């Protein structure tokens, strides 16, 4: 039996076994002539044939493409080549897409679906923990450019998201652990009890205990939905979800995506917590708990990288949150709450503090965590 979370915009997240979900079959049958699956080669090797067989047993014929895994696939070139493939296959508005994969696949396929024939429906089947708790929910689609991450994209909701945590059986260990940066972010910005729950289940999490994992995936989905229901277009409250991401996106861009998104977010969480602490918002005790949790989960927060201050500033100067030439950051007031002032969820930061933040970042990126 599927359990469902529905956001205020009416977009359901189903928790179910995807290879027996009747809802997927109903959705694919509904008026659609073509089903087109986008997956990547890692995920596809495990699940494409299984999904095709399940659809075929239900008299649904599907076509598919398997893209190279990794962040570089979120590109204009790949978007164009998938669109051309779909045109060549005769896919029109009577097509439904299925994105089967991690956040790279859901972001890219979601963007294609948003604009192909002026928009066709898509179902997301997230297969990485990060995509289950974050990337597949909330309707942001996008690709990267040389100028930065996710700079082109849309806010477009999928018809539905289907989460099956059994798919995590094949997820590499490091991808599993790195997803906890987004999970910790949800707890930090919204729910201190959730943070405590994670702190008190480190052993179970490291053992991949599915009972606790199920709770975590559902709570993260709920938190994201609660925030987005009030502000899908990121005009105000949704900005909270950018906590840790200003620094994360800068690191990803500068490293040309050699630094994994989850790892960049973990570093960004520590850096932006440091900033919150320096701005006398976050207490020393809470800052310490945040660093400790990330360390206890074995999320690596140092990288082999030589980053210059000038390069970091240049990338940060292109941040989408900049208003009137002022850098803005989502800051924590305490574990479970962001600082909200003057109707803003992202606060302007003085150049001197930005400078201090970058020094701190450079010093711990290449050394151990202070």
* Residue 191 binds ligand NAD, judged by CB under 6 A: no
Which tokens sit at 220? 């993260």
Sheet holding 3-6, edge to edge: 3-6, 12-15, 160-163, 122-126, 95-101, 34-40, 62-67
> Can residue 127 be called a binding residue for ligand NAD (CB under 6 A)?
yes
In terms of C-beta density within 10 A (0-12 exposed, 13-18 middle, 19 or more buried), how is residue 80 classed?
exposed
Q: Considering only CA atoms, which of 244, 358, 362 is closest in space to residue 303?
A: 362
Nearer to ligand NAD, 13 or 282 (CB): 13
Q: Which residues of 23-48 are buried (b: 16+ CB within 10 A; e: fewer)?
A: bbbebbeeebebbbbbbbebbbeebb
Q: How far is CA 141 from CA 11, 122, 217, in A?
A: 15, 12, 20
* Site map 101..120 versus ligand NAD, x via CB under 6 A: xxxxx-x-------------
134-142, 269-277, 324-332, 350-358 -> range binding ligand NAD (CB under 6 A): 134-142
Is residue 157 annotated as a catalytic residue, yes or no? no
Q: Classify each residue of 85-105 as buried b or exposed e, where b means 16 or more C-beta atoms within 10 Å of its C-beta.
A: ebeeeebeeebbbbbbbbbbb
Nearer to ligand NAD among residue 34 and residue 128 (C-beta): 128
Catalytic member of 11, 140, 185, 219: 140
Instruction: Find the catalytic residue in 42, 137, 157, 242.
Output: 242
Q: Among 21, 34, 48, 128, indicate the residue that binds ligand NAD (CB under 6 A).
A: 128
Active site residue 173: no
Q: Which residues fall within 8 angstroms of residue 72, CB to CB, at 6 or more apart?
A: 257
Q: Is 166 in the site for ligand NAD (CB under 6 A)?
A: no
Residue 311 tokens, joined? 């390069």
46 as an active site residue: the answer is no
- Single out the residue of 74, 185, 286, 321 in contact with ligand NAD (rule: CB under 6 A): 74
Q: Is 228 in the site for ligand NAD (CB under 6 A)?
A: no
Structure token digits, residue 290: 């945040």
Residues 6+ apart with CB under 8 A from 288: none
The residue from 42, 157, 253, 263 that contacts ligand NAD (CB under 6 A) is: 42
Site residues (CB under 6 A) for ligand NAD, limited to 249-308: 261-262
Chain residue whose CB lies nearest ligand NAD? 103
What is the set of active-site residues? 118, 140, 182, 224, 234, 238, 242, 245, 249, 261
Binding residues vs ligand NAD (CB under 6 A)? 40, 42-43, 46, 69-71, 74, 101-105, 107, 127-128, 130-131, 134-135, 138, 140, 150, 167, 170-171, 175, 261-262
């Amino acid at each position: 039996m599927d359990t469902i979370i529905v956001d205020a915009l009416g977009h359901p997240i189903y928790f179910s076994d995807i290879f027996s979900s009747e809802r997927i079959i109903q959705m694919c049958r509904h008026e659609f002539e073509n089903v087109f699956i986008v997956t990547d080669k890692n995920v596809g090797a495990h699940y494409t044939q299984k999904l095709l067989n399940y659809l075929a047993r239900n008299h649904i014929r599907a076509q598919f493409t398997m893209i190279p895994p990794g962040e570089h696939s979120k590109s204009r070139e790949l978007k164009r080549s998938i669109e051309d493939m779909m045109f060549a296959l005769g896919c029109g508005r009577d097509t439904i897409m299925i994105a089967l994969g991690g956040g790279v696949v859901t972001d890219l396929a979601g963007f294609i679906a948003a604009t192909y024939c002026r928009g066709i429906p898509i179902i997301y089947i997230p297969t990485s923990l990060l995509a289950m708790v974050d990337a597949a929910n909330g309707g942001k689609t996008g690709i990267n450019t040389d100028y930065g991450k996710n700079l082109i994209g849309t806010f477009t909701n999928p018809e539905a998201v289907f989460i099956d945590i059994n798919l995590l059986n094949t997820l590499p260990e490091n991808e599993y652990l790195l997803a906890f940066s987004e999970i910790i972010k949800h707890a930090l910005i919204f729910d201190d009890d959730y943070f405590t729950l994670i702190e008190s289940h480190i052993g179970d999490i490291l053992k991949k205990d599915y009972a606790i994992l199920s709770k975590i995936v559902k709570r993260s989905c709920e938190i994201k939905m609660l925030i987005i229901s009030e502000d899908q277009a990121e005009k105000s409250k949704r900005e909270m979800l950018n906590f840790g991401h200003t620094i994360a996106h800068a690191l990803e861009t500068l490293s040309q995506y050699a630094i994994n998104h989850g790892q960049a977010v973990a570093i960004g969480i520590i850096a932006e917590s440091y900033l919150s602490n320096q701005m006398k918002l976050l207490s020393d005790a809470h800052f310490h708990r945040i660093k400790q949790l990330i360390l206890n989960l074995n999320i690596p927060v140092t990288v082999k990288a030589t980053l210059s201050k000038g390069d970091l500033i240049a990338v940060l100067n292109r941040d989408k949150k900049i208003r009137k030439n002022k850098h803005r950051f989502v800051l924590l007031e305490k574990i479970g709450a962001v600082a909200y002032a003057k109707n803003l969820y992202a606060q302007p930061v003085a150049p001197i503090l930005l400078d201090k933040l970058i020094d701190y970042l450079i010093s711990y990126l290449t050394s151990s965590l202070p």
